Amino acid sequence: MTTIAAAPPDAADIGSFEVWIEPLLAAGYRLAYAMLQSQPEAEDAIQDAALRAWAARHRLRPGSDPAPWFMTIVANQCRQQRRSRWWSVLKGGDVPEGVQPPPAIDGADLRRAVARLPHRHRLALVLRYYLDLSFEEMGRVQGISAVAAKARVHRALVRLRAEVPEELSDA
């Protein structure tokens, strides 16, 4: 990730903001693509994140590294997009004829599936969803970067989703 030590751009200078944020966009796009798994959605997320960064540029302390700040904005934007997309799917209406909805998983099945995950994946899920830590805090706990912490949570969820259907077929 590119480190920039320059102060945030002047409140009215769009040109200096573009120069200031440009080195952050590639890493932001990679994060957005990893979170959303879709090129168009990642492009939308990075554009929205850049707009939010412009609006919040006064919050960045002078002399601090803007990369973690911008990545947090990108991560939050991705989370918001995923939530919006899932809400639209869940509110989407009736299930077509002949299609059975997946059976519900109860808490015990989910706990068993989580227990089968490797320790680092289990730890990532507990820190994020049980303790509600930010990725920066998770990174400090695990001795990794915030981006690595977010990636670890993503990998843990992918693996957990692969485990859950096995639980349902055993029932």
pLDDT tens-digit series, residues 15-53: 677 888 899 898 888 877 766 768 888 899 999 999 998
Percent residues over pLDDT 90 in the chain: 17
Residue 153: per-residue pLDDT: 94
pLDDT at position 9 is 54
Is the pLDDT higher at 156 or at 75?
Answer: 156
Q: How far is CA 44 from CA 6, 36, 76, 111, in A?
A: 26, 10, 13, 35
**Contact of 40 with 48, CB cutoff 8 Å:** no
Which tokens hold the place of 8?
């945030």
In this prediction the pTM is 0.48
At 1, the pLDDT band (50, 70, 90 cuts) reads: very low
Residue range 91-122, pLDDT digits in tens: 444 545 655 555 556 667 777 787 788 878 87
Residue 59: its pLDDT value, please?
A: 82
